[in-house]
Amino acid sequence: MATWCHAGRRSAHEVLRGMMYLSPRVSRTLVQAYLAKSELPPDPLTPREREVL
């Protein structure tokens, strides 16, 4: 729980400063795809989920 709260606070601070916050999972996926020179996996979100975000 403490880790989740810390991550939530960190992401909120980044966004309020006009920055972008990517979760460790998303960051890891992007770096792995870049290093492997491969395509990113298809978006697992539905159009509605994407709209909410």
pLDDT of amino acid 49: 83
- Is residue 8 assigned to a domain? yes
Residue 31: inside a domain = yes
Is residue 4 predicted with pLDDT exceeding 80?
A: no
pLDDT band at 30 (very low <50, low <70, confident <90, very high): confident
pLDDT score at 46: 81
Residue 6 lies in a domain: yes
Q: How far apart are CA 39 and CA 20, in angstroms?
A: 22
Residue with more model confidence, 35 or 4? 35
Number of folded domains in the chain? 1
> Is the residue at 19 inside a domain?
yes
In a domain, 46, yes or no: no
Q: Pick the residue with more confidence: 3 or 44?
A: 44
> Would you say residue 3 lies in a domain?
yes
Domain ranges, residue 5 = 1-37
Calculate mean pLDDT across residues 16-43: 82
Judged against a pLDDT cut of 80, whether residue 24 lies above it is answered with yes
Phi, psi of 30 (to 5 degrees): -65, -45
- For residue 12, being part of any structural domain is answered with yes
Instruction: List, in order, residues 6 or more apart from 40 with CB less than 8 Å away.
Output: 29, 30, 33
Q: How does DSSP classify residue 22?
A: -
